[in-house]
Chains A and B, each alone.
Chain A
Amino acid sequence: GAVVSQHPSRVICKSGTSVKIECRSLDFQATTMFWYRQFPKKSLMLMATSNEGSKATYEQGVEKDKFLINHASLTLSTLTVTSAHPEDSSFYICSARDSSGFSYEQYFGPGTRLTVT
């Protein structure tokens, strides 16, 4: 199946700093990517829908100024956690939809574990 990568896989940062997470579709183009976060023993929670060349659509309760999303190309979306705090520590997962065909299938990345100290 199609491959989605995330970088970094793990990151530890200090409180108050910003962290950028990359999501790449390796063998297909994706006009739409999705960002999720997941707390321990909890389900995935959709944060935002990232659209290539336009502004992201954020889910209710997600601060757009804190979680900056950029989708500048058909294979790359980035999530920047600004002024990170310990409560932002979580597992962040992206998914991408192959826009080249008729499939609406989404392919998930392996996730990025963020720890804010």
Chain B
Amino acid sequence: DAKTTQPTSMDCAEGRAANLPCNHSTISGNEYVYWYRQIHSQGPQYIIHGLKNNETNEMASLIITEDRKSSTLILPHATLRDTAVYYCIVRVDQGAQKLVFGQGTRLTINP
């Protein structure tokens, strides 16, 4: 699976949009971009995933560049409960593919 690079930490003010970048310059054509987050002392929570088109759901939006070498997760109106470690993972969607977690971005939402 392709490797991802994320900033170690970020801060964002409550109510503002939080934009979390991820670089995956070695991504293959059949690899999807997945985002998970982990709130302290809990299991990871799925947020969103995409292949090449931008995606939106009730939690977030995912913007993937045209060359697919990077992506941005957008939390449109961050709340204090969005404070967590956010993981960007790329993997092929077939079979029982395992998820390999990098170090992620520790996002802190400030009041």
A residues within 8 Å of B by Cβ? 1, 4, 6, 31-32, 34, 36, 43-46, 49, 51, 91, 93, 95, 97, 104-111, 113
Given A32-B96, A43-B87, is A108 in contact with B44 using a C-beta cutoff of 8 Å?
A: yes
B96 near A111: Cβ-Cβ < 8 Å: no
A-B contact pairs, 23 of them (CB 8 A): A1-B46, A32-B96, A43-B87, A43-B104, A44-B44, A44-B101, A45-B101, A49-B96, A49-B98, A51-B96, A91-B41, A95-B43, A95-B44, A95-B99, A104-B94, A104-B97, A106-B99, A107-B46, A108-B43, A109-B43, A110-B43, A111-B41, A111-B42
Interface residues on B, range: 20 to 34
Contacts of B10 in A (CB 8 A): none
Contact in complex: A93, B43 (CB < 8 Å) = yes
Q: Is the CB of B43 within 8 A of A46?
A: no
Majority secondary structure, A binding face? strand
Q: Are B42 and A46 in contact (CB under 8 A)?
A: no
Residues of A within 8 Å of B87, CB to CB, are 43
Contact, CB under 8 Å: B99 / A46 = yes
Which chain B residues numbered 19 to 63 have a C-beta less than 8 Å away from chain A?
Answer: 38, 41-46
A49 to B98, CA, bound (A): 8
Interface pair A113/B41, CB less than 8 Å apart: yes
CB contacts under 8 Å to A, within B83-97, are 87, 93-97
Is A46's CB under 8 angstroms from B93's CB?
no
The CA of A110 and the CA of B42, in the complex, are separated in Å by 5
Q: Are B98 and A93 closer than 8 Å at their CB atoms? A: no
Q: Does B102 contact A (CB under 8 A)?
A: yes
Q: A43, B101: Cβ atoms under 8 Å? A: yes
Q: How far is the CA of A32 from the CA of B94 in the complex (A)?
A: 13
